[in-house]
Chains A and B, each alone.
Chain A
Amino acid sequence: MAEVSLRHIRKVYPNTERGRRGGLFGRRRSEQGRASTQGRASTLKVTDEGVLAVPDFNLEIADREFVVLVGPSGCGKSTTLRMVAGLEEISGGELHIDGRLMNDVAPKDRDIAMVFQSYALYPHMTVRENLSFPLKLRKMPQEQIDTKVSEAAKTLGITEYLDRKPKALSGGQRQRVAIGRAIVREPKVLLMDEPLSNLDAKLRNQMRAEIIKLRQRIDSTFIYVTHDQTEAMTLGDRIVIMRDGEVQQVGTPQEVFDHPANIFVAGFIGVPQMNFFDAELVRTGAAYEVRVGGVVVAPSAEKQARLAAHDVPTQPITLGIRPEHVSLATGGARTLQGTVDVSEMMGSSVHLHLRSLGQDVIVIVQTMDVDGSHRGGYAIGETVEFTFGGDVIHLFATDATGGNLEF
C-alpha cells in the first residue's frame, strides 16, 4: 500500500556519552548496538563520530513489493529495518513512506507494523487481547475490532487459541499471533525482523509457506530481514544483500543467483556454497579463455561479449562454479581431478567434497538417473574427474572487492 524510499540512510553509533542522548524510545539501543558492533568491529568503520553501522543505504521499494534484506549477522540489516520502524534514530539521509518524510515521525504514526524474532507478545494479555491491542489504541469501535480480530485469527489458523495466554502456546503458534497482531491493522508497511529464526527447521518451512500465502492476501509492502539465504530466495521479489553496512547487490532472486555482483554475494547465495578456483583469464584479440589447473575453458558468447564490452585485460582471476553446475566425467581433455574427502548422502543426491588444486570443491551428484539406475557410492580417498561448461562459470577480480568482471 505504500512505496518506501531510503535515500543515503546513515547510522552512526556515537562513541561519546553526550552523543548518546537519553530517551525512552528510539535511542535506547545505542549502547547495545555499539557493543555488538564493536565485538567484531574489525571490518566496520570507526569514525570520529563513532561506529558507522550503515554508511550509505539507498533503496527504492515499490508498492506491495516484498523486499528481503539478507546478510551475515552484524551487517546492518536489522539496524536498517529498525530505522524504517522508527526504533532507531536515523543519523543521516531521508526515509520516505508513501511520499512522506518519516525521519522524525514517531513509530506509531508511521503506519507500519513489525514482527520481532522473539515474538514480543504481551505476556499478560490473551491472544485476543494481543490482537486487539493496536486496534483499541486507535479507538476503533468494539464490533469492528471483533470482526478484524476474528478475520486475522482465521487467516492464521489461531481461532481456537484466542483465549489463551502466550505462554500456553508453542513457538509456531506464538509467531502466528505476532504476525496476526501485525496484519490486523492493515499497515502500509509490514516489517519482519528474522521472524522464523526461533523456530525449528520443519516449522520454519511451514511458516515460510504461510508467509508466501499471507502475502497474496494482504496489500502491505513487506520488508523482511533474515540471515538465511533460503528464506531470502523463496520469499523476496527482490533481495538486498548486505555486508558491513553496505549494499552488495540488489536484484531478483534469479538475478543474484545467476549474476552475483561479487565474490561475497556468490559465496553467500546458494547452498552448498559456490566453488572458487585460482585461475587466469587470457585475452587473445576479442576472444577470452579461462585457464584453471591446466584446463582451458571458453566462456559463453554472452559472457565473452560482456567482458569485451568492459575491455577486461588478461589477468589472474577467481573462478566461481556452483556445485550443481559441476558434473563428474571420465577422461576428456577438459576434466580436473580430485580426491574424495567427504561424501554426504542427502537422499536424492550426494554432496561430494573433493580436494582439487589445493581447494575444497563440492560436487552434487544425483543418486538416481531418470531411467532409474542408481549411481554407486564414492569411497573416501577415491580419485574422480569432474568438468564444467563455459556458460556457468563466474569470473571475479582478485582484488579486495572481488567484483564480477562481467559487470
Chain B
Amino acid sequence: MMHTEQTLVAERRRKTILSVVLAIICVIYVLPVAAVVVNSFKLNTFVKTETFALPTEQSFAGFSNFITGMTFGNYPFLKSALYSVVITILSTGLILLFCSMAAWYIARVNSRACRAIYYLCVFSMVVPFQMVMFTLSKTADTLKLNTPWTIPIVYLGFGAGLAIFMFVGFVKSIPLEIEEAAAIDGCGPLRTFFSVVLPMLKPTLISVGILEIMWVWNDYLLPVLVLDLNEYRTIPIHIQYLKGSYGTVDLGATMALILLSIVPVIIFYLACQKHIIKGVAAGAVKG
C-alpha cells in the first residue's frame, strides 16, 4: 500500500518537473516571435533598449514601421512579395508532381536502380546546403536557372529528398490490388497514377506541400546566391536590404517586414494543421 502511494507521488513529481521543463522550452521558442511582433510596433530607438517590453505610449510607432519598410530603397516590396509567391507556388507544384510520380515508381518497381535512387534521395536530406552552395550557384548561372521562373528547378532538386521519402512511405501502404484493378479496368500507367494513385495520396500531398511551402517561402540563402539581385528579390532578401549605409539597420522596419512575411505562413499552417498530422502519420502506420 505504502509502496503504491510512494510511486504515485513520485509519478506526480516527475510529471510536474516535465511540465515545467516543457513550458520553459515553449517560452524559448515563442520569445523571438513575440519580440518580432512587439518590436514591429515600436519606434526604432526603443527596439534595442526595451527589446521585450510592450510598446508604451512613448515608444508606440503605429504602422509607421510597416510603411517605412515597404517603401525603403528603390525596390518595391510588392515586387519581391510577388516573386516570393511565384517561386513558392512553382517550386511546390513541381515538387509535388514529380516527387509523387517518382515515389510511386520507386515504391512499386523493385529494381536495384530504384533502390539506389531512393537511397540517394534519402541521403540528400543529410547533406548540408552549405556544402554544395558555391558550386551550385555557379552551375545555376551557367544553366540560366537564375530567374524566379527557373529557380524552382533548383528547389525541386533540394526538396526531392524529403518529398520522395514521405511519398514512398505512403505509397507502400496503398494496397497493390487497387492499382491492379485499375489496370484491368482499362488504365494505362499514367491514367492509373492521375485517376487512382494521386487522389489517394491527398493527405501526403497536403503535408508535403505545407512543409515545402514553408521552406521555400522562408528560404534566404538559395535565392541570394542564385538570383540576379538587381532584378529579382524575394521577401527575405528584401528584408536584408533594409540595412542602410554604414551598417545602420532600421530595426523597427525590419521587424515589421519579418512580421509581414511570417503572418501568411502562420495562417496557412494553422489552417492546414489537421492535414499535416494526418499526412505525417499516414505512411507510418498501416491503416
Contact = CB atoms under 8 A, between A and B. Distances in A.
B184 A108 contact: yes
Contacts of B128: none
A107 B114 contact: no
Contact of B187 (A17, A20, A30, A137): A137
Contact of B199 (A25, A117, A124): A124
Given A22-B109, A22-B110, A181 B185 contact: yes
B133 interface: no
Q: Which of B114, B178, B180 has the most CB of A within 10 A?
A: B180
Contact of A122 (B105, B110, B112, B196): B196
Given A20-B110, A22-B113, A108-B184, A137 B176 contact: no
Chain A binding surface, main DSSP class: loop
A84 to B, nearest CB: 11
Given A20-B110, A120-B175, A120-B178, A137 B200 contact: no
Given A17-B111, A116-B180, A118-B177, A137 B191 contact: yes
A133 interface: yes
Given A28-B176, A87-B180, A123-B200, A137 B186 contact: yes
B12 interface: no
Interface residues of B, number: 29
Given A20-B110, A28-B108, A137-B191, A116 B185 contact: no
B181 A120 contact: yes
B13 interface: no
A122 B194 CA distance: 13
Contacts of A17: 111-112
Nearest to A27: B109
A1 to B, nearest CB: 16
Interface string B81-114: 0000000000000000000000001001111111
- Interface bin, chain A: 20 to 34
A23 interface: yes
B264 interface: no
A249 B228 CA distance: 77
A114 interface: yes
A25 B183 contact: yes
B202 interface: yes
B109 A118 contact: no
Interface string B169-210: 000000111101111111111011001100110100000000
A83 interface: no
Contacts of B195: 133
7 contacts: A17-B112, A20-B110, A21-B111, A114-B184, A124-B200, A137-B185, A181-B185
Interface of A: 17, 20-25, 28-31, 85-87, 106-108, 112-114, 116-118, 120-124, 133-134, 137-138, 181
Given A31-B110, A87-B183, A114-B181, 16 more contacts: A17-B111, A20-B110, A22-B109, A24-B109, A30-B110, A85-B184, A107-B183, A107-B184, A108-B183, A108-B185, A120-B181, A121-B181, A123-B178, A123-B200, A124-B199, A133-B195
